[in-house]
Structure 1
Amino acid sequence: MKQLAALLSVIICSNAAMAQEALDPDAAPVQNILVVGQRPGPALWKVSKGDHVMWVFGTYSPLPKKMEWRSQQVENALAQSQELLGQPGASFSVGWANSFNILTAAPFLIGIKKNADGAHLQDLVPAAVYTRWQLLKTKYIGDDKGIEEERPLFAADRLYDRGLFVNGMDKGHDIPDRIEQLAKNWKIKYTSTTLTLEMDNPRAAVREFKKGRLDDVACFTKTVDRLETDLDAMKVRANAWSMGNIDAIRKLTFPDQKQSCNAAIIDSKWMGGLKGADDLRQRMRAYWFSAAEKALAANKSTFAMLPMSDLLNQDGLVAALRAKGYQIDEPD
């Protein structure tokens, strides 16, 4: 049960928190060789009301896997803060699983990533897309027959991970993890902004998930598209973030395959049957916003992490704070 919860939580949390960016087509070309060595990342956004301030760090994915991240500004702002807000997302609570006999649980967990009714990828995705998938699979994964039995959503995620790895990138989770570890070391209060959904009947939820299908062909197709056409641009964007190039970062927009992959879970019939899963996107947003307002009211200084999309987009969370009357100072 924890395996299913982890799989789906990772999909929702990482996709909400690590939106991928696409460069403005009119922007000047930038070197797409990956930058390595120590890099600062972008400067901080400042949200304030009166003498209370919240410093916001913009996360990004993918990033160079050999990059050494070190930002004195981030460390200084975090050190003077009383609270760290984690990134927004959603997770599933299966509290009884800690004491549940693993031998009893095992039959329910086996095969949760596989397609219902023994279907293979070739049965579910368009023939032309499947042919392109095979070429990418050979290039990045190799001879793995088992992945052909996985749901398109999970197969696409594995392919994307391997494509990033082979091209010198990863999803960039190390940086938020490091910030959280610094806060822990310095005994700074940590507040999760991950919305937790309760599973009243986890066994039934697993059964329903295993026998149902997801509308995840769009997720699969767009992931294949991304790996075929966007790898060089990914490196350009990763460099812009790692060097703190605000001018380049401001030209980024945020459409990507992850929106379709999120929708495959969030809008599924299976998710609709879970307690509290209705209007999940808005509830996740409201949950973070509430935590941010409470922290700003209570602390002289708060530190928060948000995806770059929520810092730059007109419908992002920082724009919502501005609309509520908070002062927003963007980095130069």
Structure 2
Amino acid sequence: MSALRRLLLPLVLLSAASLAAAAPAEALPAEEQLPEEIDGLRLMDVVVVSGVQPGPGLWKVSRDGRVMWVMGTVWPLPKRMEWNSLEVERRIAGAGVVLLPPTVDIKAKGAALGGLFLLPSLMSARNNPGKEKLVDVLPPADYARWTRLKATYLGRDRGVEKRRPILAAMDLRDKALDAHDLGQGNPVREVVNRAAKRADVPVQRTRLTLEVEDAKAAVKEFAGRPLDDLECFRRTLDQVENDLDTLALRANAWALGDIAQLQALTYTDNAKACTDALLQSGLGQSRGFAELPARVQAAWLADAEKALATHAESFAVLSMAQVVGPEGYLALLQQRGYTVEAPGADAPPAPAANPR
């Protein structure tokens, strides 16, 4: 039921990976803070890279002579970057299976035409209950900050003033990223899918399905209740106001293959605050959303261990938070007895690409 999924996934699944292991929210070290401002808005000093870039190396997970090569991704990436993906393509050509990042499908039980019938409700559910505007639901200081940032990135858009704070903040962040040459596409997915198809390697994705018993009632419940999304709103504005440089540095580090900087950089993490806004709501608790992080994690680990047991070599794509985080998937595999090696740790050369 795509319409319901489109409404709820931006709230529940900013990414499946961020649900399971969001990085901790930390401020930049003082020496990295950039003091220059115009009308209270921080200027970006970081130039986003462009042209052909190597991207990060691959992590190696191994046991009993079997290997899984893992590609870590970040979001956003430099908009004008061309990724040199030769190593990834070669590893995929030598793999028995490719594991794509996990995903969740939200469906309405027994409602093949639900998307069509629910569209008016879905559209209204984006807005604040009772037709309030942001000025009515936000504390004055938060609304003042919103107004200043909105003028910079959204202009005179009046429609966004009716949105729930969580959705209004996401619209603002998307425009800010675009204005600073940070793209929201997924070049990794395109390259991986193309390489797997060329080499005739099967692609597998861990998929969980959450079936909503009464989608119409769920949307009506969502539309009629306020969300505790003020913390999400504030953290997202923090990203726009303070952390565009850090996001750019992280995007550059990925493009340049600078693993040390990827591991060292911190930034304002809004994922947990935003997912909590729905997961801890009455709707999230009653519809099964709250159990999704643990279910996603367990399902992916089962698929990964099966791939490692079945194939001499396999390939996986995960978010960088899952790859380098102490609570991430690779750390959990390591706890289960697998050896995990970061890029450059005496990895053998990649096999020649499949001539097909």
Correspondence for 2:97: 83
Which whole-Å CA distance do the structure 1 matches of 2:32 and 2:229 have between them? 35
Correspondence for 1:291: 303
Report the Cα offset of residue 198 of structure 1: 0.9
Alpha-carbon spacing, 1:110–1:278, altered in 2? closer, same or farther (3 Å): closer
Which amino acid is the alignment partner of residue 210 of structure 1?
A
- Secondary structure of 1:42's counterpart equals coil
Report the Cα offset of residue 171 of structure 1: 3.0
Which amino acid is the alignment partner of residue 324 of structure 2?
L
Normalised by the length of structure 2, the TM-score is 0.85
Which whole-Å CA distance do the structure 2 matches of 1:241 and 1:112 have between them? 37
| Aligned-pair Cα RMSD in Å | 2.5
Matched, 1:310 2:322: yes
Correspondence for 2:66: 52
Correspondence for 1:205: 218
Correspondence for 1:137: 150
Matched, 1:180 2:193: yes
Percent of residue pairs bearing the same amino acid type: 36
Residue among 47, 51, 70 paired with 1:37: 51
Which amino acid is the alignment partner of residue 9 of structure 2?
S
Q: How many residues align?
A: 330
Which whole-Å CA distance do the structure 1 matches of 2:249 and 2:340 have between them? 27
Report the Cα offset of residue 182 of structure 1: 2.9
Report the Cα offset of residue 253 of structure 1: 3.9
Which amino acid is the alignment partner of residue 41 of structure 1?
G
- Secondary structure of 1:156's counterpart equals helix
- Secondary structure of 2:317's counterpart equals strand
Correspondence for 1:9: 9
Alpha-carbon spacing, 1:180–1:11, altered in 2? closer, same or farther (3 Å): farther
Matched, 1:119 2:139: no
- Secondary structure of 2:283's counterpart equals helix
- Secondary structure of 1:208's counterpart equals helix
> Is 153-162 or 17-26 further displaced after alignment?
17-26
Report the Cα offset of residue 163 of structure 1: 0.5
CA contact (8 A) 1:46 1:53 kept: yes
Correspondence for 1:160: 173
CA contact (8 A) 2:2 2:115 kept: no
- Structure 2, gaps ≥5 residues long: 35-44, 345-356
- Secondary structure of 1:303's counterpart equals strand
Residue among 272, 282, 286 paired with 2:294: 282
Report the Cα offset of residue 36 of structure 1: 0.2
> Is 92-101 or 251-260 further displaced after alignment?
92-101
Which whole-Å CA distance do the structure 2 matches of 1:185 and 1:328 have between them? 28
CA contact (8 A) 1:84 1:303 kept: yes
Which amino acid is the alignment partner of residue 7 of structure 1?
L
CA contact (8 A) 1:115 1:150 kept: yes
Alpha-carbon spacing, 1:105–1:131, altered in 2? closer, same or farther (3 Å): same
- Structure 1, gaps ≥5 residues long: none
- Secondary structure of 1:273's counterpart equals helix
Which whole-Å CA distance do the structure 2 matches of 1:238 and 1:45 have between them? 18
Correspondence for 1:25: 29
